[in-house]
Structures are given as structure tokens and as C-alpha cells.
């Protein structure tokens, strides 16, 4: 799967790929491969999986051949889902009073389990055990999601009375989740609460919950300003020919896939200019920004009307290209409260 997410100047540099093929191929090595997992094209949860990968919320597995896979139909363990939930919501706690006998302090999942347990989001399975390597069921997963999102989602509406959900501890949580639309049954009347959850199901459930977070919405200016500021800083770098400052500028405004691909192509730009190629970019028309959607943690900002004049020279040869900057920026709220761009879909790729 190859995403159509590129910097404006990279789109223009693509015109020169035949002349610089070796350099471009090098740019597509790891870590970019981590953002382009195989075998999810056409999957029923493709959109949610791709979004989670781009935003650094979901990591893939590298097989012996070097391909990165997400294994969306594979089961997900209690430790894996707890870690994903903590990462998605950026949960934090200093409380270390709750420990489990089967969670070793040096294990990769010890910290997220500690946080989730301290916040009352995740409990053990009895006998002072958490069961980190046990596969989580759909019912158990629903319980954790409802607890984690309890304060930021309005659980209203009519609950679905699933015929296969008995009167057990997860029933009220399943009803709440159905009220909010976080879960859907395998049929109109069946939920399969004791069926082992799949990785794709976990991602979709979390995405639905994230889309409902509207208790602390950002101002539109908080979302459009990073786009404007990043553009201003990049244009200044091109004006000053200070291409070695691109990485620092990208780190300030970008994250996830957009940061990775920006850094990869910035490396090529630095190499090319050091080899004597000339590159300049200037604004031809200002872009108009509109917030399409926003939640407490994620947002989409549409850019229309913007364009740039980009000039590339090779000795006496010069090529000038007018490039549109129309598309949609996807942003996420970072730990420090700043909003950063993690993806950009050009208008052409969105068609």
C-alpha cells in the first residue's frame, strides 16, 4: 500500500525521478516501510488501519522477508490492547501501588498495564494476575474502551439488546457502547462477546470512540496555525537556502508518517543541492484553510486555492513548475498539547 502523502516540493521533485532514481529509492527504505504495511489494501478496516499507522498509534510486524504487516485478522492480547488504549489516549498516572504477579517490571507492557490499572481502566483476571498474553474477547475489550472514554464521550441513545449477551459484568458496558455507536453486532441482535477480538476490530472500536470525543474541542485557529506556521518556516528555509534546517522545522510541526517521509526527502534535497543542483520555492497564491472536522485529539483541515512556483536548475538547464497545494491535512494533539500534522492527502489522491 502506497499512500499519496507528500510535501509540495516533493511532488515537483517527482518530475525528476528518472534523473535521480538511485537517490529516491534510498529515501523509501526504512523507516518509511513501517508506514506502508502490506496486505491491507481492500481490507474492510483499511481506512482506520491506515490512519492509525500514519498517526503512530499502531505498529506492524516485520516478517523474515522484510515486509511490514499489520496482521489485522490476528487475535490481540490483553497486553497489546491495553498498550494501544494507553497510547491512543495518552493516559498517564504516577500511581505504582497496583502490581500483578504475571507482569514483570522489565516487560514491554509493564508500564501501560500499570497506568491502565492505576486509572481503573483495566483490572486483572483474578489471583493477582493480569493475563497479559491472553487473547482479549470482544466483551472485555468493550469494557476497557467504555471505562477509558467515560469522561469524554456522551453515552446516550437507545441501547441494543443483544440476545447473546448474558447478564454478566460486561453487559452494562456493552449496552453503553451500543448507545454511543462504538460497537456494532455481528448481526442486528448478536454481539459475540466471548469471541476473541481481532486487531482490526480493536482499531475500529478505538477509532469510533475517538471520533466521538467532543468534550474539549480545540479552537479552529489551533488547527490552522500549525499549517500556516510550517509553510512560513519552510518557505523561509528555501529562501535562505538553509536546507540543513529542514529536519528541525519538520520536527516542530510534523509527526508520524508525514514527519518520516518529510525527513527522507529532505535528506535528498540536501544531497542534491550539495551536488550543485538549484532548488527554490515561493508562494504563488495563498491557500485558504477550513477545518473539516475536529475532536478532542484529531482534526482534518482542508487547503484550497494555494499554489507555489518551484524552480529546479541543473547547470544551464532550468525547469519551472506551478504546483497546487490543495488537499487535506490530518492533525493530532501531542502530549504537550501542541497540534502536529501526521498526514497530507492531496486533492488528486483523495478522488
pLDDT, tens digit (0-9, with 9 covering 90-100), for 119-130: 999 999 999 999
Rounded to 10°, the helix 138-149/199-211 angle is 20
Average pLDDT over residues 2-15: 47
Write out pLDDT tens, residues 329-343.
999 999 999 999 999
Q: Can you give the pLDDT at residue 348? A: 64
> Does residue 274 contact residue 308 with C-beta atoms inside 8 Å?
no
Rounded to 10°, the helix 246-253/256-274 angle is 170
Q: Quick one: which of 5, 170, 205, 180 has its CA closest to 85? A: 205
pLDDT confidence band for 19 (50 / 70 / 90): very low
Phi, psi of 51 (to 5 degrees): -65, -45
pLDDT confidence band for 319 (50 / 70 / 90): confident
Asked whether the bond before 31 is cis by omega within 30 degrees of 0, the reply is yes
Lookup result for grid cell 462477546: 193
| The three grid cell numbers given for residue 241, joined into one nine-digit string | 537556502
Residue 28 is classified by DSSP as T
Strand order across the beta sheet in which 307-314 lies: 278-285, 307-314, 317-324
Q: Can you give the pLDDT at residue 4? A: 38
Q: What is the DSSP string of 120-178?
A: TS---SBTTB--TTSBPBHHHHHHHHHHHHTTTS---SPPP--TT--SSTTHHHHHHHH
Q: Please tell me whether the overall predicted TM-score, pTM, comes out greater than 0.85 for this model.
A: yes
Q: Can you give the pLDDT at residue 30? A: 64
Phi, psi of 293 (to 5 degrees): -160, 155
Q: Can you give the pLDDT at residue 7? A: 52
Q: Can you give the pLDDT at residue 149? A: 97
Q: In Å, what is the CA distance from 50 to each residue of 60, 193, 254, 328?
A: 11, 26, 17, 15
> Does residue 233 contact residue 252 with C-beta atoms inside 8 Å?
yes
Cβ atoms within 10 Å, residue 21: 10
Report helix, strand or coil for 252. Answer: helix
Q: Quick one: which of 233, 245, 248, 320 has its CA closest to 279? A: 320
Least confident range of 29-33, 101-105, 271-275, 291-295: 29-33
Average pLDDT over residues 205-224: 97
Cβ atoms within 10 Å, residue 93: 15
Q: Can you give the pLDDT at residue 78? A: 98
Lookup result for grid cell 501526521: 342
pLDDT confidence band for 152 (50 / 70 / 90): very high
Residue 29 predicted with pLDDT over 50: no
Q: What is the mean pLDDT of the chain?
A: 89
Q: Strands 339-346 and 61-62, how do they pair?
A: unpaired
Amino acid at each position: 500500500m502506497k499512500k499519496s502523502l507528500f510535501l509540495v516540493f516533493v511532488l515537483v521533485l517527482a518530475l525528476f525521478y528518472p534523473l535521480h532514481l538511485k537517490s529516491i529509492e534510498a529515501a523509501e527504505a526504512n523507516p518509511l516501510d513501517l508506514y506502508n504495511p502490506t496486505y491491507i489494501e481492500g481490507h474492510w478496516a483499511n481506512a482506520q488501519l491506515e490512519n492509525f499507522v500514519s498517526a503512530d498509534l499502531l505498529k506492524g510486524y516485520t516478517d523474515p522477508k522484510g515486509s511490514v504487516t499489520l496482521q489485522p485478522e490476528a487475535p490481540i492480547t490483553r497486553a497489546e490492547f491495553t498498550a494501544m488504549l494507553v497510547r491512543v489516549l495518552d493516559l498517564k498516572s504516577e500511581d505504582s501501588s497496583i502490581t500483578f504477579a504475571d507482569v514483570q517490571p522489565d516487560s514491554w507492557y509493564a508500564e501501560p498495564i500499570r497506568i491502565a490499572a492505576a486509572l481503573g481502566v483495566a483490572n486483572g483476571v483474578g489471583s493477582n494476575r493480569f493475563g497479559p498474553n491472553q487473547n482479549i474477547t470482544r466483551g472485555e475489550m468493550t469494557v476497557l474502551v467504555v471505562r477509558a472514554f467515560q469522561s469524554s464521550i456522551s453515552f446516550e441513545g437507545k441501547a441494543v439488546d443483544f440476545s447473546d449477551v448474558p447478564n454478566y459484568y460486561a453487559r452494562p458496558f456493552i449496552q453503553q457502547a451500543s448507545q454511543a455507536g462504538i460497537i456494532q453486532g455481528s448481526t442486528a441482535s448478536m454481539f459475540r462477546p466471548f469471541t476473541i477480538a481481532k486487531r482490526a476490530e480493536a482499531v475500529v472500536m478505538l477509532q469510533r470512540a475517538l471520533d466521538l470525543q467532543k468534550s474539549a474541542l480545540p479552537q479552529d485557529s489551533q488547527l490552522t496555525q500549525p499549517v500556516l506556521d510550517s509553510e512560513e518556516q519552510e518557505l523561509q528555509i528555501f529562501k535562505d537556502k538553509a536546507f540543513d534546517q529542514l529536519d528541525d522545522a519538520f520536527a516542530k510541526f510534523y509527526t508520524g508518517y508525514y514527519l518520516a517521509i518529510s525527513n527522507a526527502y529532505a535528506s535528498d534535497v540536501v544531497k542534491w543541492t550539495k551536488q550543485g543542483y538549484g532548488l527554490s520555492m515561493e508562494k504563488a497564491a495563498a491557500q485558504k484553510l477550513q477545518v473539516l472536522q475536529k475532536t478532542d485529539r484529531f482534526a482534518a483541515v482542508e487547503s484550497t486555492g494555494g499554489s507555489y512556483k518551484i524552480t529546479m536548475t541543473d547547470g544551464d538547464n532550468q525547469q519551472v513548475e506551478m504546483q497546487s497545494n490543495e488537499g487535506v491535512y490530518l492533525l493530532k494533539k501531542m502530549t504537550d498539547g501542541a497540534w502536529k500534522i501526521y498526514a497530507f492527502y492531496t486533492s488528486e489522491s483523495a478522488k
